[in-house]
Structure 1
Amino acid sequence: MDSILRLLMGPWTTYILWVLSDGGPQRFGVLKRAVPGISTRVLTERLRMLQAAGVIWRDQTQTIPPAVTYGLTERGDDLRQVLESLGEVAQRWQSEGAFETGDVAAE
């Protein structure tokens, strides 16, 4: 379990997986717009790391400019239920005001 948590702990990683889980395969530009505030460099790093871990796939079409699409692999799809559960907990905690002070432990 520690290995999976270390994989998911990187900046923006769970958000990227959430977007791919919720919206299906995405082109790079669409994915970047769906993750507000992420830089191109960080998005590229996160995607490469997730691809190396076998969690997402990458498809590049040889066009000008190249069309690159990312989606969840079977391994990434295994995380769908976990992401949905985390999302439900986050929404509940947010409605309880847990994130207003930035201190979740305050509840």
Structure 2
Amino acid sequence: MTTQERSPAGPERAHELDVFAQLCPSRAMFAELADKWSMLILMSLGELGPQRFSELQRAVDGVSRKMLTQSLRTLERNGLVRRTVHPETPPRVVYDLLPLGRELAVLVAPLGRWAEERTELMLAAREEFDRAHADG
């Protein structure tokens, strides 16, 4: 399959961006977005709406403060999440999706549901694979 046939960007952009090309900036962007914490943060903001840091940390069970901070910064830097500081005492910081983030959250949510619905099948396949390859 050629780049032009694969590219959803259309023929005019087909040779500029190609997520399959090693040095293409779209591949680096894809890798950042495919990070599990980023995906879970997008899903949480998409499903629950604007949240404070502590709310996000509770919603995305298991994420450390450091990883949540890094992931939120990356999402904010890429134009997916907005960080709003409300001038209160103490200051209240709220994270919300920007239009690009909402667009991506809508795409990611079905993947999360698919994983939930198919986990038992994949675990069974994993056990079968492990049994078949246990002898070496």
TM-score of the aligned structures, taking structure 1 as reference length: 0.82
Letter in 2 for 1:90: A
Once the two structures are superposed, the pairs formed by residues 33-72 of structure 1 within 5 Å of their partners are 33-72=58-97
How many residue pairs get matched?
103
Q: 1:38 deviation in Å?
A: 1.0
Q: RCO greater where, 1 or 2, for CA within 8 Å and sep 6 or more?
A: 1
Equivalent pair of 2:46/2:106 in contact (CA under 8 Å): no
Alpha-carbon offset, residue 3 of structure 1: 4.7
Q: Residue by residue, what CA displacement relative to the aligned partner does 1:44-100 show, whole Å, maximum 9, x if unpaired?
A: 11101100000011100122322100011000111133112212321232142x146
Match of 2:112 in 1: 87
Long gaps (5+) in structure 2: 1-18, 20-26, 130-136
Rate the CA distance shift 1:62–1:54 in 2: closer, same or farther, 3 A.
same
Q: Which whole-Å CA distance do the structure 1 matches of 2:46 and 2:124 have between them?
A: 27
On the 8 A contact 2:79/2:98 being kept in 1, the answer is yes
The letter of the residue matching 2:102 is D
User: Structure 1: how far apart are the matches of 2:42 and 2:104?
Assistant: 8
Quick one: percent identity of the two aligned structures? 32
Answer with 4-13 or 35-44: which moved more: 4-13
Does residue 25 (structure 1) correspond to residue 50 (structure 2)? The answer is yes
Q: What's the RMSD between the two structures over aligned residues?
A: 2.2
